[in-house]
Every structure is written in structure tokens, then in C-alpha cells.
Amino acid sequence: MDRRREGIGDLYHQETKYRKEAMPRGGLDWGHQPSPYKEFPYALKHFPIRPLDQKGGKSLWETIAQRRSIREFSNQSITFPELSQLIWATQGITLKALGFEFRASPSAGALYPIETYLAVNRVEEIPSGLYHYNVKERQLILLKEGYLGPELCQAGLGQEMLEEAACVFVWTAMVDRSKWKYRERGYRYIYMDVGHIGQTLYLAATALDLGCCTVGAFFDEEVDRVIGVDGKNEISVYLGAIGHAR
């Protein structure tokens, strides 16, 4: 391949390869490991997620067979218990062992760089607005009230489903959580991690007879602005629209 035609993505892939003769050396700086939890010093309201129904429902195989990307949503609301189930399925703590709090979706090195924000348009029992999921306390933190559908639609290259959806998951990455251990290669794991989470959202939504469509095409800085992150230390990486199919 003519290296003069390589783009930054090609160069990144080459420069972050693991090679036997050039593996990273040195121990981890345990005293400066970033926390796996983001906390907000302020919040308008707190909403503990509901107890979960972990029995019955569709089989895994049926759910996989039925999974599709749904891009057209009705104006029907989803319930707060349904939203709670989706949140737990993607980022809920499922096991505490060996000093770790393992979650429903896997993460490289159990570092969990991905944070979950929710732009709620129509969810029963809670007001429209921007929320953050506090994993440790199992609760939604209301950061800002208001209907964010039009802003997310514009930020998402005009994809109308982001305005029509009952709720939009917005996943960000706290970059230093991965780079602390994996250095520049950490970006690879960030995108793997969020891919696992996105697929879990698809399956959980399908099991609840809800529609889901994940989105990777968006204006990064606009999404960063909508949810209030700096785009450097914390970056927007993926979206997931949820609702009842039209």
C-alpha cells in the first residue's frame, strides 16, 4: 500500500498494533487510576431505577432472530420500568467480586470507560430532559429539563428518529480510564466496549417488544454540547434510539 495515501485511521491502526518485540513496558500507576464512576455535584432530581424482571420473556435465540434496526417510531411513551430494564441490561452491576463491580456488558480490563446519558422525550413517570445514569447508586440523575429531540436530530445529521424516539441513549467515553492502562491502544477498546453495550441494548429492546436503532453518524461537537461534555477528556461515541415501532 502506498503510505502517501494512508489516512489518520490507517496510521493509528498501524501505530497501535501489539508486536512481540515492542510491547509496552512498566507497571501501572495504581495511585492515579481514574475512578470507574462519574459523579455529579449537582442534580435537579434523582430517580432510582425500578426492580428488574429477570425471569420469563423471550428466549435469547428468539431475541437474536428478531433483532432489527427500527428507524420509525410512534408517539407512544415507554414506561419507566422498561427504561430501567434497558439501563440495567446495558450497564447494570451484575457481580461484585475480586475488588471489581462487573457489569452486564463486558469491558477491556474491567475499566468501564463508557458513561450513559439519556435524552428522555416520552417516558412515563419522569419529565423530559437530559439524564445521567449513576451506575454505583443505580439511579438516574436529572441534569436538565426540556425536550432535546430537535437538538439531537440536528446533531445527528438530521436523522428524524432521534427526534421521534421515546428516549435516546447517548454514550460517552472517559478516555483516561482506558489510556491509564492501555495508552493509545485504549481507543480501540473504547469502541469495542461501546459496541458491546449497543448490541445489548438492541437485544434488551427486542425482548421488551421495543424498537432500537444505534447511530454512529453525528456531529461530534454538537452532541458534546447537547449533553455538556468537553469533547476531549470525555467524548461522545455512540447513540441509541428507543421507542415503539410505528
Q: Provide the pLDDT confidence category of residue 167 given band limits of 50, 70 and 90.
A: very high
What are the pLDDT digits (tens) for 147-158? Answer: 999 999 999 999
Q: Does 29 map to a domain?
A: no
Q: Does 151 map to a domain?
A: yes
Q: Does 6 map to a domain?
A: no
Instruction: Give me the number of domains the chain comprises.
Output: 1
Q: Does 235 map to a domain?
A: yes
Distance CA 100, CA 107 (A): 12
Please compute the mean of the pLDDT values over residues 118-143 and round it to a whole number.
96
Which pLDDT belongs to residue 20? 81
Among 51-55, 82-86, 122-126, the least confident range: 51-55
Range of 197's domain? 46-243
Among 20-29, 66-75, 117-126, 206-215, the least confident range: 20-29
Look at residues 78, 104, 93, 112 and name the one whose alpha carbon lies nearest to residue 193. Answer: 112
| CATH number reported for the structural domain that contains residue 50 in this entry | 3.40.109.10
The answer, yes or no, to whether residue 1 has pLDDT greater than 70, is no
Write down the H helix ranges in 111-148. Answer: none
Which pLDDT belongs to residue 42? 82
Q: Does 135 map to a domain?
A: yes
The answer, yes or no, to whether residue 3 has pLDDT greater than 60, is no
Residues 6+ apart with CB under 8 A from 199: none
What are the pLDDT digits (tens) for 71-97? Answer: 999 999 999 999 999 999 999 999 999
pTM of the model: 0.93
Q: Provide the pLDDT confidence category of residue 163 given band limits of 50, 70 and 90.
A: very high
Write down the H helix ranges in 101-185. Answer: 149-155, 161-164, 175-182
Look at residues 132, 120, 117, 158 and name the one whose alpha carbon lies nearest to residue 43. Answer: 132
Q: Is residue 143 within 8 Å of residue 130, measured between CB atoms?
A: yes
Q: Does 8 map to a domain?
A: no
Q: Does 2 map to a domain?
A: no
Q: Does 112 map to a domain?
A: yes
